[in-house]
Amino acid sequence: MNLAQLEAEIFSLPLQDRAALAQRLLLSLEEVSESEFEQFWGEESARRVAEYDAGKVQSVPGSAVAEKARALLR
């Protein structure tokens, strides 16, 4: 299974399950040093910018993201 397949499967989970998984993943990062953490986020940022520049993803206005988050919390 590649990352895209795993991501698609994760996003199909109910909100509660995704939240629990996110919490576990964040806690697992505590084992990573600060420099490793910065490196990982730098690589992730570069990957996201490259995908955007290549037209593989579209940007979403922050207001739309906030509105969706509020709707999910209701």
Runs of H (alpha helix) within the chain: 3-11, 15-28, 34-53, 62-73
Domain boundaries, the chain: 1-31, 33-74
pLDDT at 27: 83
pLDDT in tens, 4-60: 899 999 999 999 999 999 988 888 877 878 888 889 889 999 999 999 999 999 999
| Residue 21 CB partners (closer than 8 Å, separation 6+) | 10, 13
